[in-house]
């Protein structure tokens, strides 16, 4: 073999080595490009959640505000319901108390004519000029019955309204007529035609009275 052949053989081997080296360089370049692409994608993906996170925070804040508003609304409804229940209890308590205090009102109204009759009987007997022992005993018996009945009524909360000589009170008195009387102040009770009664400070029957008025010539 000549020197020329050996030289060609060496050149061929070197060309083979260069050809073998080219794929490695290309692979490294491809790998680098892929790495850069993956890094870029990772960067984009890492940046994306930031926008989603802000949106999620806004949604959570809006949901919290809505929940607080609903809670405040329900609290207001609960307070109103509690206040209404307290009013119902208070009204019920007042109704029960009044029912206990004024349960005898109808009974007292039915009993007052009996008291009036005894009052008239006592008045008539007191106006009798001459009384024998029998009449005197009857008068004392009737007067005792009248006082006992009034005492029983007073124990049950019934009070007598007998306003003779007092100023006229339209809340307790009913004027039957008005008469001139210079001896008393105008608008004063000069006579009681029928006594009135109250039950636990509630008027059961007003007193029937005659009221004074100023004389015609008085300014």
pLDDT in tens, 144-173: 999 999 999 999 899 999 999 899 999 999
Clarify whether residues 96 and 54 are in a common domain. Answer: yes
Nearest to 193 by CA among 205, 180, 201: 205
Clarify whether residues 82 and 161 are in a common domain. Answer: no
Q: Is residue 219 in some structural domain?
A: no
C-alpha pair distances (Å), 154 with each of 135, 150, 182, 192:
29, 6, 36, 20
Clarify whether residues 87 and 156 are in a common domain. Answer: no
Domain boundary among 101, 120, 155: 101
Burial (0-12, 13-18, 19+ Cβ within 10 Å), 200: middle
The total number of structural domains that make up the chain: 2
pTM (2 decimals)?
0.56
Domain boundary among 58, 79, 101: 101
Nearest to 212 by CA among 168, 151, 171, 154: 168
Contact 153, 187 (CB under 8 A): no
The Cα–Cα gap between 167 and 187 comes to: 6
SS3 209: strand
CATH number for the domain spanning 167: value is 2.30.22.10
Give the pairing of strands 173-180 and 158-161: unpaired
Counting residues of the chain whose pLDDT is more than 90, the rounded percentage is: 33
Which pLDDT score, from 0 to 100, does residue 148 have?
A: 93
Q: Is residue 6 in some structural domain?
A: yes
Clarify whether residues 139 and 208 are in a common domain. Answer: yes
Report the mean per-residue pLDDT for the chain.
79
Give the pairing of strands 189-194 and 207-213: antiparallel
Chain centroid to Cα 63, Å, comes to 33
Other C-beta atoms within 10 Å of 144: how many? Answer: 11
Residue 188 is part of which domain span?
Answer: 102-213
Clarify whether residues 72 and 108 are in a common domain. Answer: no
49-58, 104-113, 165-174: least confidently modelled range: 49-58
Residue 43 in this model has a pLDDT that exceeds 70: no
């Amino acid at each position: 073999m000549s020197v020329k052949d050996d030289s060609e053989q060496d050149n061929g081997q070197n060309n083979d080595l260069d050809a073998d080296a080219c794929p490695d360089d290309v692979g490294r370049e491809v790998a680098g490009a892929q790495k850069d692409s993956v890094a870029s994608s990772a960067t984009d993906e890492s940046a994306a959640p930031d926008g989603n996170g802000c949106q999620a925070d806004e949604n959570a804040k809006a949901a919290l505000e809505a929940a607080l508003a609903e809670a405040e609304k329900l609290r207001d409804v609960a307070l109103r319901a509690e206040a209404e229940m307290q009013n119902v209890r208070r009204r019920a308590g007042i109704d029960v108390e009044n029912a206990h205090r004024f349960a005898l009102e109808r009974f007292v109204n039915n009993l007052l004519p009996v008291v009036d009759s005894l009052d008239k009987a006592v008045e008539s007997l007191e106006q009798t000029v001459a009384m024998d022992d029998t009449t005197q005993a009857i008068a004392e018996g009737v007067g005792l019955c009248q006082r006992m009945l009034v005492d029983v009524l007073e124990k049950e909360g019934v009070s007598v309204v007998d306003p003779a000589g007092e100023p006229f009170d339209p809340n307790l008195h009913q004027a039957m007529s008005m008469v001139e009387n210079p001896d008393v102040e105008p608008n004063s009770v000069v006579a009681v035609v029928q006594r009135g009664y109250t039950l636990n400070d509630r008027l059961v029957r007003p007193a029937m009275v005659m009221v004074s008025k100023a004389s015609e010539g008085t300014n």
